[in-house]
Structure 1
Amino acid sequence: AQRGLMAEELPGHFQAEGLLEAFGPRLQPGQKVLLPRGDLAREWLADKLRELGLEVTEVDTYETVVTGEDDIELLKLLEEKRIHAVTFTSSSTVRNFIGILQRMGLKDPLPLLAGVKIACIGPVTEQTAVEAGLTPGLLPGEATIEGLVQELCRWNESTRLK
């Protein structure tokens, strides 16, 4: 809005499926769609739009980069059970986190995460976490960073009361 662009529609839930649901009735074959996205985004939305006969131009607007550095402090904190929750904001964060732990020498990082609350931003990320062998325990009602933070705050407050 600050740059003069006004949203016509906001999805009911913040993932590709929600965006398609929000615009679905107004989409007509032949329409042109610009789809800015991250380099690792799912192809689902672009594929569905093309199935509906739309001309889709995909533009990678950011690149997901895995740090090249090992974080020995992270391992120490996990081993000492001083990390109580890990948040995942996308499927790539799940895969990259597990991959980094493996790169640091953990053949199976899952036991190190036992007892750590796994928070996922939305159902797609949650499914990726499950496929990686994690057991997600927090999922916000709204798949946004704000929703994830609020869910973490509720969980933190409930655990402090016990």
Structure 2
Amino acid sequence: MIQSLPLLDKKVLVPRGENQAKSFSELVERYGGIPIEIPLIAFRPIEKNQRLHECLQALDTYDWIILTSNVTVETFFSFFKEEKVDSVLPRIAVIGKKTAEVLNTMGFSPEFVPSAYVAETFVEEFGPLLSRGSRVLLPKGNLAREYISSSLTKLGAQVDEVVIYETYMPEESRDRLAAMLAENKLDILTFTSPSTVDHLMEIVNEHGLHEQLKKCLIGCIGPVTEKKLRAWGLTVHASPKEFTVKEMIKSTIAYLEMEE
């Protein structure tokens, strides 16, 4: 146990679903905080369609496949069930070390991981590995940015994007989040993607909870999420240079200690 417990009795919103929240919540508890697990985002695989079927059947024609998140990895491999894909998989590039770890648990290793876990750095460092006409498969969620695809296309690659999962806010989270905010029962809000911001703000606007929101400390991961928060007019108190939950919590603690 960490002796100083800098988050002592602070109620921290953990915006992840049951399968992803455990390590996040344990980290909050290590520092004395009280994790409040309210998933602001959930994912479901799309039903197989002709476009997806054609991409999966043509895996061996691609030079690279880019997997941008844990969800992308898990969803992509779920389409194969018992089928063996190791003989047809192209070289694999991932955006973050957590994504690489999930990939490793499935028996595969990425051949490229960027130094920073954002799309801009990925393109800058991955681009030189491509030659004109390189075929790249980019599985993604329905709300994903098009930055990687458009940037690599400009570099001369042939990029096939295919939506493999949908992003949505769980219905059961809506009432609970509204009640917690209305009763000022959340001290720290954390955001892991732009979608988590939009989903929370949907509830805030629906229930008129803007004043309650001002009382919360806000931490986030990544410049795109930070930009989304600022676009909503919110103050960002903690946004670390390394885009991990651990560093976000550390950055939040640093802000609290500075305030004290």
Give CA deviations for 1:24-72 in whole Å, capped at 9, x if unaligned. 2222210011112222111111111111111111132331112334644
Give the one of 181, 190, 193 matched to 1:78. Answer: 181
CA–CA distance in 2 between the matches of 1:4 and 1:37? 21
Conserved 8 A contact 1:120-1:126:
yes
Equivalent in the alignment of 2:152: 49
Give the one of 195, 198, 211 matched to 1:111. Answer: 211
TM-score, normalised to structure 2, is 0.54
Task: Establish whether residue 102 from structure 1 lines up as the match of residue 205 from structure 2.
Answer: yes
Task: Establish whether residue 92 from structure 1 lines up as the match of residue 195 from structure 2.
Answer: yes
More displaced, 77-86 or 23-32? 77-86
CA–CA distance in 2 between the matches of 1:71 and 1:4? 37
Equivalent in the alignment of 1:67: 170
Task: Establish whether residue 23 from structure 1 lines up as the match of residue 123 from structure 2.
Answer: no
Task: Establish whether residue 122 from structure 1 lines up as the match of residue 254 from structure 2.
Answer: no
Conserved 8 A contact 1:121-1:140:
yes
Equivalent in the alignment of 1:14: 117
Q: CA 1:146 to 1:100, structure 2 compared with 1: closer, same or farther past 3 Å?
A: same
Q: CA 1:78 to 1:8, structure 2 compared with 1: closer, same or farther past 3 Å?
A: same
Task: Establish whether residue 151 from structure 1 lines up as the match of residue 254 from structure 2.
Answer: no
* Offset, 1:16: 0.8
Unaligned runs of 5+ in 2: 1-103
CA–CA distance in 2 between the matches of 1:72 and 1:59? 33
* Offset, 1:20: 0.8
CA–CA distance in 2 between the matches of 1:75 and 1:2? 37
CA–CA distance in 2 between the matches of 1:36 and 1:144? 22
SS at structure 1 position matched to 2:225: helix
CA–CA distance in 2 between the matches of 1:83 and 1:53? 48
Equivalent in the alignment of 1:2: 105
* RMSD between aligned residues: 2.3
Conserved 8 A contact 2:237-2:255:
no
TM-score, normalised to structure 1, is 0.83
Number of aligned positions between the proteins:
157
Unaligned runs of 5+ in 1: none
CA–CA distance in 1 between the matches of 2:243 and 2:116? 7
* Offset, 1:102: 2.5
Identity %: 36
CA–CA distance in 2 between the matches of 1:47 and 1:147? 30
SS at structure 1 position matched to 2:167: coil
Based on CA coordinates, which of the two structures has the bigger radius of gyration? 2
CA–CA distance in 2 between the matches of 1:71 and 1:96? 9
CA–CA distance in 1 between the matches of 2:139 and 2:248? 23
Conserved 8 A contact 1:70-1:100:
no
Conserved 8 A contact 1:110-1:133:
no
